[in-house]
Chain A
Amino acid sequence: MTSLARVRAAARGALGLAALALAACGGGDDGREQGKAPRDGQPQRGGTAVIAEVTDIANPMPVTWHGGLDADMMDVMYMGLTAQRWGDGRLVFLHSDRNPYALSWHHEFVGPDSTAIRYRMRSALKWSDGHPITAHDVVWTYAMYADTATASPRLENVALIDSVKAENDSTVVFHFKRRYPGMMFDSGLNIAPRHVYQGTPPAQLMQHPVFSRMQDLVVSGPFKVGAYQSGTQLTLVPNPYFPVRPRLDRIVIRRIPETTTRFVELQNGTVDLARGAPFDVVAQLRRTRPDLGWERERLRYWEFVAFNRRTFPPFADREVRRALTLAVNIPEIRRSLRMEEFTTHAVGPYAPIFKDLYDPRALPPPPFDAQEAARILESRGWRDTDGDGIREKDGRPLRFTMITNQGNQRRADVATMLQRYWRAVGVDMRPRILEFGTFQELMIGKKEYEAALGSWGVQLTPDITPLWRPDSPFNIVGFDDAQAQALMDQALAAPTEQEANPRWRAAAERIVQDHPYLWLYFYDNVTGRSARLRGVKVDSYGAYQNTWEWWVSGEARRAPGAAADTGAPKDTAK
Chain B
Amino acid sequence: MLSYLLRRLLGAIPLLLGILTLIFFVVHLAPGDPATRFVGPNVPPEVVEQIRRNLGLDRPLHEQYVKWLWSFVRGDFGFSFTAGQPIVNLLPGILWNTVQLTLVSMVMIFAIGMLIGIVQAVRQYSLADNVLTFVALFFYSMPSFWFALMLVLVLSLKAGQNGWPIQFPASGMMSVDYEYLPLGGKIVDRLRHLALPAIALGIGSAAGVARYMRGAMLEVIHQDFIRTARAKGLSERRVIFKHALRNALIPIITLLGLYLPFLLSGAVLVETIFSWPGMGRAVVSAILERDYPMVMAGSFVIAALVVLGNLLSDLLYAVVDPRIRND
Contact = CB atoms under 8 A, between A and B. Distances in A.
Given A17-B36, A258-B272, A268 B176 contact: no
A212 interface: yes
Contact of B83 (A58, A474, A559, A566): A58
A198 interface: no
A89 interface: no
Contacts of B211: none
B178 interface: yes
Contacts of B282: 231
A561 B182 contact: no
Interface stretch (B43-51, B202-210, B223-231, B234-242): B43-51
Contacts of A440: 32, 36
Contacts of A15: 39-43
B173 interface: yes
A437 B36 contact: yes
B275 A257 contact: yes
B93 A229 contact: yes
Nearest to B54: A203
Interface in A175-219: 203-204, 206-207, 211-212
B42 A153 contact: yes
Contacts of B189: 563
Contacts of A445: 33, 36
A566 B33 contact: no
Nearest to B192: A563
A116 to B, nearest CB: 24
Interface in A54-105: 56, 58-59, 66-67
A231 B273 contact: no
B157 interface: yes
B277 interface: yes
A254 B173 CA distance: 10
Nearest to A261: B171
Interface stretch (B1-9, B84-92, B102-110, B309-317): B84-92
A459 B43 CA distance: 13
A155 B47 contact: yes
A67 B36 contact: no
Contacts of B45: 473
A395 B83 CA distance: 52
Most buried by B among A11, A155, A211, A264: A264
A148 B50 contact: yes
B43 A437 contact: no
Q: Which secondary structure characterizes the binding site on chain A? A: mixed
A275 to B, nearest CB: 14
Contacts of A254: 171-172, 176, 275
B160 A566 contact: no
Contacts of A56: 83
B32 A437 contact: yes
A58 B53 CA distance: 19
Given A11-B40, A567-B182, A268 B160 contact: yes
A16 to B, nearest CB: 6
B170 A265 contact: yes
B94 A231 contact: yes
A548 interface: no
A48 interface: yes
A427 B96 CA distance: 54
A567 B175 CA distance: 13
Given A212-B85, A268-B160, A268-B170, A260 B33 contact: no
B164 interface: no
A66 B38 contact: yes
Interface in B144-185: 149, 152-153, 156-157, 160-161, 167, 169-182, 185
A568 B48 CA distance: 46
A438 B32 contact: yes
A250 B172 CA distance: 18
B37 interface: yes
Contact of B38 (A48, A153, A257, A568): A153
Contacts of A6: 42
A151 B41 contact: no
B180 A566 contact: yes
B42 A260 contact: no
A342 interface: no
A230 interface: yes
A544 interface: no
B258 interface: no
A206 B84 contact: yes
Contacts of A437: 31-33, 36, 288-290
B161 to A, nearest CB: 8
Interface string A261-298: 11011011110000000000000000000000000000
Most buried by B among A227, A261, A440, A466: A261
A252 B176 contact: yes
Contacts of B140: none
Nearest to A465: B41
Nearest to A65: B84
A299 to B, nearest CB: 17
A456 B41 CA distance: 9
Interface in A515-574: 559-563, 565-569
A226 to B, nearest CB: 10
Interface string A451-465: 000001101000000
A7 B172 contact: no
A467 interface: yes
A561 B83 contact: no
B84 A58 contact: yes
A531 B179 CA distance: 26
A232 interface: yes
A58 B82 contact: yes
A396 to B, nearest CB: 28
A255 interface: yes
A459 B94 CA distance: 36
Contacts of B174: 233
B79 interface: yes
A232 B84 contact: no
A231 B93 CA distance: 10
A256 interface: yes
Nearest to B182: A567
Contacts of B44: 155-156
Contacts of A436: 288
Nearest to B277: A231
B259 interface: no
A10 B170 CA distance: 34
Contacts of B170: 261, 264-265, 268, 270
A409 B289 CA distance: 20
B32 A441 contact: yes
Given A437-B31, A563-B192, 10 more contacts: A7-B40, A67-B40, A148-B50, A207-B84, A233-B176, A445-B33, A457-B40, A474-B41, A563-B177, A567-B182
> Which 10 pairs between the two chains have the least Cβ-Cβ distance?
A15-B40, A437-B32, A10-B42, A466-B41, A568-B180, A151-B50, A231-B277, A563-B175, A568-B177, A58-B84
5 contacts: A56-B83, A153-B38, A230-B83, A261-B275, A566-B177
Interface of B: 31-33, 36-48, 50-51, 53-54, 79, 82-86, 89-90, 93-94, 149, 152-153, 156-157, 160-161, 167, 169-182, 185, 188-189, 192, 272-275, 277, 281-282, 288-290
